[in-house]
Chains A and B, each alone.
Chain A
Amino acid sequence: MPLALAHPGECVEILRIRGGEGFRRRLAEMGLIAGNRVRVISNGRPGPVVLETKGSRLAIGHGATQKIQVKPCVQAEEFDG
Chain B
Amino acid sequence: MVYIVALLSVIFLGLAVLVISRMAAVVKSTRGPVEEGRIGMSNRVNAALFMVFFVVGLVGAVWSFWYASDFFLPEASSPHGRRTDFLFWLSMAIITVAFLVTNALLFFFAWRYQHREGYKAAYYPENHKLELIWTVIPAVVMAILVFTGWRAWRDIMSEAPADAQVFEIVGKQFNWIVRYPGVDDNKLGAYNYKLIDNSNDTGIDYTDQASFDDFTSTTELHIPVNKPVLLKIRARDVLHSVFIPHLRVKMDAVPGMPTRFWFVADKTTDEMRNITGNQDFGYEIACTEVCGRGHFSMRIRLVVEDEASWQAWCKEQKPLLSSTPELAARIPANLKAKAAKYLPADAPAAPADSTTASTQQGGGVSIARTTIR
Answer yes or no: do A and B interact. Answer: no
